[in-house]
């Protein structure tokens, strides 16, 4: 890997590793988000604090860090854009500051897609929001949205991005493996309803 690619990865990893869910909940006096619900630092778990505003802010900031990482690479290291995108997502999923226990990557992947492949980002958002509103299960909406990214790359005639986005989708789904187990068992909670 070249020097610029290594630099792009490291900067993007550091951006991606900023745990906005944890920071925002602590600043607002909600305590440690890792002690609530699923223990994740993402927007869905932040919502379990009862604050829709904090959850929305977490979602926006988590998406923004992915977008900023790609935009920086596009401007400074164009050949390292895929590496930067990977750094941002990996940083969110496995932040060094939290002993590599991060979020599940749904919002950050959306942010990555916005500058990387805007139409795929639109499809991703529509799938995520639409499915969430229908089934009210965050994990189902998030995993399906992630799976839409490599499909969009093919449909939009961007085959070079397919392996990268497929890898991202696999990572996001892997981080949801506990949710998959609960879905199979029929115990995955719906947002807005009490846990079974």
Q: What are phi and psi of 95, to 5 degrees?
A: -75, 130
Q: How many Å is the maximal CA-CA distance in the chain?
A: 51
- State the pLDDT at residue 196: 38
Model confidence pTM above 0.85 = yes
- State the pLDDT at residue 158: 96
Tens digit of pLDDT at every position of the chain (196 positions): 788 899 999 999 999 999 999 999 889 888 888 887 777 888 888 888 877 898 899 999 999 999 999 999 999 999 999 999 999 999 999 999 998 999 999 999 999 999 999 999 999 999 999 999 999 999 999 999 999 999 999 999 999 999 999 999 999 999 999 999 999 998 888 876 544 3
- State the pLDDT at residue 28: 85
| Residues contacting 166, CB < 8 A, separation 6+ | 150
* Helices within the chain (DSSP H only): 3-16, 20-27, 43-47, 52-76, 81-93, 106-116, 118-135, 138-155, 162-175, 177-185
Q: What is the DSSP letter of 189?
A: P
């Amino acid at each position: 890997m070249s020097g610029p690619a290594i630099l792009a990865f490291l900067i993007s990893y550091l951006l991606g590793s900023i745990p906005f869910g944890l920071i925002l909940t602590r600043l607002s006096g909600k305590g440690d988000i890792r002690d609530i619900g699923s223990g994740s630092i993402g927007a869905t778990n932040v919502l379990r604090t009862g604050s829709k505003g904090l959850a929305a802010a977490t979602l926006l900031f988590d998406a923004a860090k992915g977008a900023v990482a790609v935009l920086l690479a596009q401007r400074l290291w164009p050949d390292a854009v895929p590496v930067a995108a990977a750094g941002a997502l990996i940083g969110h999923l496995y932040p060094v500051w939290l002993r590599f226990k991060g979020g599940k990557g749904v919002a950050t992947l959306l942010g990555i897609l916005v500058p990387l492949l805007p139409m795929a980002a639109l499809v991703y958002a529509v799938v995520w929001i639409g499915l969430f509103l229908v089934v009210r299960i965050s994990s189902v909406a998030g995993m399906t949205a992630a799976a839409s990214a490599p499909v969009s790359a093919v449909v939009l005639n961007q085959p070079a991005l397919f392996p990268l986005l497929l890898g991202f989708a696999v990572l996001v789904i892997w981080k949801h493996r506990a949710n998959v187990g609960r879905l199979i068992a029929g115990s995955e909670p719906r947002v807005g309803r009490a846990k079974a």
